[in-house]
Structure formats: C-alpha cells, structure tokens
C-alpha cells in the first residue's frame, strides 16, 4: 500500500509518483509524452552454451526453473491465451513455494479465476504481487488492499511497451505452448490443447533473461509454424496437459440474449451504416463482450444485403468472424 | 465477406481451427497491433471499433477496470489501444442492476473522452461533440441521436438521482497506465 506523494495529471486525477519502488510519469495528454533513449536489450549469448543437437528438453518444470536460477524477488511472466483454462502457472508457484522462494512478482498478460490458488501464495509470501490484468478473484483480493504491492494495469500494447522500454524486466518467462519442438520453436494453433496463437507471449520470449517453453505436444524439429522461435528459448518441458482450450470461452465471450442489449447492438450496426463506414474494403473490430458479438452479427447481415466485402477484421476471433472469413 | 482476420487472440475453438486452416487468418502480436512505441500500429487504421465499458461520463471519458462499487475486477485488454480507431463506439446499457452507467465522473478514468466518438444506449445514441463529421453525416438517418446530458438526465430521473458513490479509502491499491507508459489514474482500496 503506497502512502507516497500524489500529484495531479493532465486529466485532473491524483496519481502516485512512485509505485512498487519505480518512479512514475503522470499522463500528459494523448500523444504528448515521447520518451527518448534506447530500448531494453539482452546480454549477448553463445551457441556454445546450448546443445548442438538442438535438444533443450529437461525432465521437469521444477528442474527447468532450477536451471533458470529461480530465486527470491524474481519476475515471472506468462501469457493468457488459455484464458480460464491455464494449467501451468499454479504449478509454477507451487514449485516455488516448495523451494521456499519468496517475494516473486507475477507478470502475466492476464490472470483469470483459475488462478485463484495464487492468492494463497500471496498470503504465504511466495508471490509479492501480480502485475497484469486482474480478472475476478485476484482483482477482488487486491481491491481490499490485501496485495503486498500495487497493481499496475496495462493494455496489451502497454505491456509490450513496458517490457520493450525497460520498465519491467522479466527474469523467467513461462510459455505454455500447445505444440513445440525440442529446440523451443512453438505454435498455438495445433495439438490437443490448441489455443490459437501465442502472440501475448512473444515479447516475453524476446526480452526475458530465461525462457521456458512448456508443451504437451512435442513434435520433431521443425515445429512449423513457429510464432515463438527456438533461438529465444532456454529450456523445453513436456507435461501431460498444459491447458484446457474449452475454457477459453470464459468471462465476457458469450453472445447476449437480453432484448435490450440486442437492440443496442442493432442500433450500433445501424449507426455504422448511417455513418457511411460499410463500404468495400473497410475494416472493423468488435470486442469480446456479448453486445459486441451481437453487433458483428447485425453488421454481417447489412454487409450481405449491400454486397460489401471487408478488407480485414481485427480479432479476438469467434465463430461469428470465422463465418465471415470462410 | 472479408479477406483477412488479423487476430490477437482466439475467443473460441472455431477461432482456433480457423487460424490453423485459413491462410487469411493471421496470428499477430501486441507489437504489430497495439504498441504505441513503434513506428505506427494497426489500431489507428481500423474504420470502426466496438468496445464495452463499465461506466462513461458526460465528457465521454470511460472506465473499463472498476465497477460502480469501486472494485477492480477487469483488465484493460486491448481496449485502450483500440480507442485510436477512426470511429470508436461504446454500446452500453443505460443501467446495470438499476445503477446508471452514464455518471458525472467515472470511478476510474481508463480512456480519455477525446478518443471516444459514440456511445450507444437503449435510450439513444450520443455522438461526441468533437466529431462534427459524424454528427453531420448521421443527421437525417432517423436514428435516435441525442445529447449525452439528455440521456443521463432521463435515466437519473427514472431512478431518482445518481446513487451514492462507492466508499473508497485514499489508499492506492492499483494504477492504470496509459498506452505510452504514463499513469492516467489510480485505483483505491474499497472500505471493508
């Protein structure tokens, strides 16, 4: 809990000048703040420190964490492509607890209700605080002032910016991967636990000191496509199961049934039409909320009626968008 | 009906299958899509973006991380990044559990009003006065376009005024970063 000096920013909000020991810059207006200097960089590595046969597998997650030099106060990162179906991160912090590690910072792209057990690890001091999107129980825990550090909420782009600009240094990145090879190339689009893509973990793989790929589908080199590249990976661990893809559909990603929300979605589509946006080659993005999904369905009908084709749609993808592509 | 899906995350298993099978379903990362400290990103190229919000105020500022009770229960996701589209629309109900969604001042300011163009509720559509072009082009559309203050007053009237603000302490339990790494607002501990 910070009792540090507060200052007013450009939108008249009071903000702390220091958070978790890091000096903060107040918001200065859209497009006003332009930092200079260089981006963060990694130490130079040598191939001679890695197996020439490309086999980076180790026998367990515990052994990989040990080889990465897991110790007190480190920052451990992970991605959230499994959303509420992640099976890896609770295991990571259980291992840290067993080894009596303290004061870790967990830096996920997002935490979900499935990560509730990590609250116990905050109570027993293994994890100091969670720095990432806090959906559900961990957010509630933090809202009551129980977390040992201050929550820092960032957008997806802001998380990349923070790592790239050196605001957050990742000691160990854990990348759950539905398919990987022993060299560390990995993809999310195939395998029994396929979760789509691994884009949120990409910055972690590029900037972390140590990178562990955890998979339940090890294929012979090369794993293609390779959204995560083996040249950035230290160790590969094979587990029975890394995630439950059926739990990707969680939280906000359900189509609304409420008549009011459907009406709002329809009005939104009609507005887009009236504004002259639905023309050949246009682009749009609709979020994961139930109303946004309904909007996409109304829009699709309008596009059909008008014989209009979009150039691109930005996902989060759902079956409704896939129908429009196929 | 579209040439490409440029995808940041798959929200269901059809999305996963499509990404594997369709050449036009492309995996992207927050670097290409959203990173403010790059040489541009995709977000500002979008013609229209439709997003949610927990609260908005009459200056079109919006909240997406805390509820009206002050609890921090959601992440930002790509929400802030998406605000840079050419037309950013927030379709939101005028009430949630009898609590009005249009407020005098959002509990947490996550998105500055200057980037939010349109708010759509079941009681009408409000266009940001900064977007004179959108106001002009939709003027004769027959759609229920109204001032945001008018929609708010109607809702407040129905429920007999704005409800009491959540009880918050002055202990900061979280901060909200803007896309450039600066701090746009603080999140406060709720009273137990």
pLDDT interval class at A1 (50, 70, 90): very low
For A192-223, give one letter per residue: b (16+ CB within 10 A) or e.
Answer: ebbbbbbbbbbbbbbbbbbbbbbbbbbbeeeb
B33: left (phi over 0), alpha (psi -120 to 50) or beta: alpha
pLDDT one-digit tens code per residue, A139-177: 999 999 999 999 999 999 999 999 999 999 999 999 999
pLDDT one-digit tens code per residue, A79-108: 999 999 999 999 999 999 999 999 999 999
Spell out where A133-270 has E strands.
133-134, 151-153, 172-177, 179-180, 186-187, 210-215, 235-238
Average pLDDT over all residues of chain B = 94
Question: Which residue matches tokens 């562990």?
Answer: A212
pLDDT interval class at A72 (50, 70, 90): very high
Mutate to test the interface with A, among B43, B62, B120, B168 (most CBs of A within 10 A): B120
Q: Using a CB–CB cutoff of 8 Å, tell me whether B11 touches chain A.
A: yes
| pLDDT score, position B74 | 87
- The H or E element containing residue A19 is strand A18-19
Q: Using a CB–CB cutoff of 8 Å, tell me whether B185 touches chain A.
A: yes
Residue-range domain boundaries for chain A: 54-247, 259-325
pTM of the model: 0.95
- Which of B41, B46, B115 minimises the CB distance to A285? B46
For residues B49 and A241, what is the distance between their CA atoms, to the nearest angstrom?
36
Count other Cβ atoms within 10 Å, centred on residue B184.
Answer: 25
Q: Contact at 8 Å (CB) between A168 and A209?
A: no
Counted across chains A and B, CB pairs separated by less than 8 A come out at 411
For residues A60 and B158, what is the distance between their CA atoms, to the nearest angstrom?
61
For residues A206 and A51, what is the distance between their CA atoms, to the nearest angstrom?
20
Quick one: B45-164 is in which CATH superfamily?
Glutaconate Coenzyme A-transferase (3.40.1080.10)
Q: Let me know if A167 is exposed, middle or buried by CB neighbors in 10 A (0-12, 13-18, 19+).
A: middle
Contacts of A149 (CB under 8 A, 6+ apart): A20, A105, A128, A129, A131
For residues A243 and A58, what is the distance between their CA atoms, to the nearest angstrom?
20
Q: Using a CB–CB cutoff of 8 Å, tell me whether B50 touches chain A.
A: yes
For residues B42 and A283, what is the distance between their CA atoms, to the nearest angstrom?
11
Angle B85-A107-A144 from CA coordinates, rounded to 5°: 90
CATH number, span A54-247: 3.40.1080.10
- Which of B10, B171, B182 minimises the CB distance to A196? B10
Q: Contact at 8 Å (CB) between B175 and A19?
A: yes
The reply to whether residue B41 touches residue A285, judged by beta carbons under 8 angstroms, is no
Helix (H, G, I), strand (E, B) or coil at A298: helix
Average pLDDT over all residues of chain A = 94
pLDDT one-digit tens code per residue, A246-275: 888 755 567 788 899 999 999 999 999 999
Q: Contact at 8 Å (CB) between A316 and B116?
A: no
Helices and strands counted in chain B (H then E): 5, 13
The reply to whether residue B187 touches residue A30, judged by beta carbons under 8 angstroms, is no
Residue range A12-29: mean pLDDT, rounded: 97
Radius of gyration of chain B (CA): 18
Higher pLDDT, A311 or A318: A311
pLDDT one-digit tens code per residue, B166-185: 788 999 999 999 999 999 99
pLDDT interval class at B69 (50, 70, 90): confident
Residues of B in contact with A268 (CB under 8 A): 50, 89, 91, 120
Instruction: Please say if the pLDDT value at position B133 is more than 90.
Output: yes
Residue range A65-70: mean pLDDT, rounded: 98
Question: Which residue matches tokens 């900064």?
Answer: B130
CA torsion sign for A198, A203, A206, A208 is negative
- Which of A158, A276, A314 minimises the CB distance to B179? A158
Q: Using a CB–CB cutoff of 8 Å, tell me whether B158 touches chain A.
A: no
For residues B160 and A174, what is the distance between their CA atoms, to the nearest angstrom?
51
Considering chain A, what percentage of its residues have pLDDT values greater than 90?
A: 89
For residues A194 and B55, what is the distance between their CA atoms, to the nearest angstrom?
35
- Which of B49, B75, B181 minimises the CB distance to A133? B75
Residue-range domain boundaries for chain B: 1-34, 45-164
The reply to whether residue B74 touches residue A139, judged by beta carbons under 8 angstroms, is yes
| pLDDT score, position A218 | 98
pLDDT one-digit tens code per residue, A193-207: 999 999 999 999 999
Residues of A in contact with B40 (CB under 8 A): none
pLDDT one-digit tens code per residue, B41-60: 999 999 999 999 999 999 99
The reply to whether residue A287 touches residue B79, judged by beta carbons under 8 angstroms, is yes
| pLDDT score, position B78 | 94
Instruction: Please say if the pLDDT value at position A2 is more than 80.
Output: no
pLDDT one-digit tens code per residue, A269-314: 999 999 999 999 999 999 777 888 899 999 999 999 999 999 999 9
DSSP A129-157: EE-SEE-THHHHHHHTT-SSS-EEE--HH
The encoded tokens of residue B71 equal: 């609890």
Mutate to test the interface with A, among B174, B189, B190, B192 (most CBs of A within 10 A): B174
pLDDT one-digit tens code per residue, B73-97: 889 999 999 999 999 999 999 998 8
């Amino acid at each position: 809990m910070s009792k540090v000096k507060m200052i007013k920013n450009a939108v008249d909000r009071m903000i702390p000048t220091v958070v978790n020991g890091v000096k903060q810059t107040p918001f200065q207006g859209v497009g006003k703040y332009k930092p200079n200097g260089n981006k963060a960089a990694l130490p130079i590595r040598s191939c001679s420190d890695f197996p020439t046969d490309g086999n980076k597998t180790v026998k367990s997650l515990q052994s990989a964490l040990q080889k990465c030099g897991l110790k007190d106060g480190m920052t451990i990162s992970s991605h959230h492509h499994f959303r509420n179906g992640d099976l890896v991160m609770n295991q990571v912090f259980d291992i840290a607890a067993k080894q009596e590690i303290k004061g870790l910072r967990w830096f996920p792209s997002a935490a979900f209700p499935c990560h509730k057990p990590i609250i116990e690890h905050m109570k027993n001091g293994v994890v100091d605080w969670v720095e990432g999107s806090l959906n559900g129980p961990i957010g509630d825990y933090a809202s009551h002032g129980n977390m040992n550090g201050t929550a820092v909420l960032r957008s997806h782009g802001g998380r990349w910016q923070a790592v790239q600009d050196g605001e957050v240094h990742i000691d160990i990145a854990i990348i759950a991967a539905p398919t990987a090879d022993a060299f560390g190339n990995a993809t999310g689009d195939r395998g029994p636990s396929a979760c789509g893509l691994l884009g949120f973990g990409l910055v972690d793989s590029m900037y972390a000191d140590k990178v562990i790929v955890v998979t339940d589908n090890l294929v012979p080199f090369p794993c293609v496509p390779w959204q995560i590249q083996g040249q950035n990976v230290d160790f590969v661990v094979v587990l029975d199961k890394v995630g439950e893809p059926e739990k990707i559909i969680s939280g906000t990603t359900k189509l609304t049934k409420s008549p009011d929300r459907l009406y709002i979605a329809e009005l939104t589509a009609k507005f887009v039409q009236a504004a002259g946006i639905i023309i050949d080659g246009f682009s749009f993005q609709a979020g994961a909320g139930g109303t946004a999904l309904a909007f996409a369905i109304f829009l699709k009908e309008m596009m059909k009626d008008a014989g209009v084709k979009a150039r691109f749609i930005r996902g989060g993808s759902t079956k409704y968008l896939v129908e429009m592509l196929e | 009906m579209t040439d490409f899906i440029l995808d940041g995350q798959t929200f269901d298993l059809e999305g996963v299958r499509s990404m594997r099978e369709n050449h036009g379903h492309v995996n992207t990362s927050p670097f290409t899509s959203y990173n403010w400290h790059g040489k541009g990103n995709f977000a500002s190229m979008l013609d229209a973006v439709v997003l949610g919000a927990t609260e908005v105020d009459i200056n079109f500022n919006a909240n997406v991380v805390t509820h009206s009770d002050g609890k921090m229960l959601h992440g930002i996701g790509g929400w802030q990044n998406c605000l840079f589209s050419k037309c950013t629309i927030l379709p939101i109900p005028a009430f949630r559990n009898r609590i009005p969604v249009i407020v005098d001042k959002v509990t947490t300011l996550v998105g500055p009003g200057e980037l939010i163009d349109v708010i759509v509720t079941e009681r009408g559509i409000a266009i940001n006065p900064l977007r004179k072009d959108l106001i002009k082009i939709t003027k004769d559309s027959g759609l229920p376009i109204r001032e945001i203050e008018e929609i708010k007053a109607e809702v407040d009237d129905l429920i007999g005024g704005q409800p009491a603000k959540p009880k918050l302490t002055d202990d900061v339990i979280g901060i909200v970063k803007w896309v450039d790494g600066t701090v746009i607002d603080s999140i406060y501990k709720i009273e137990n």
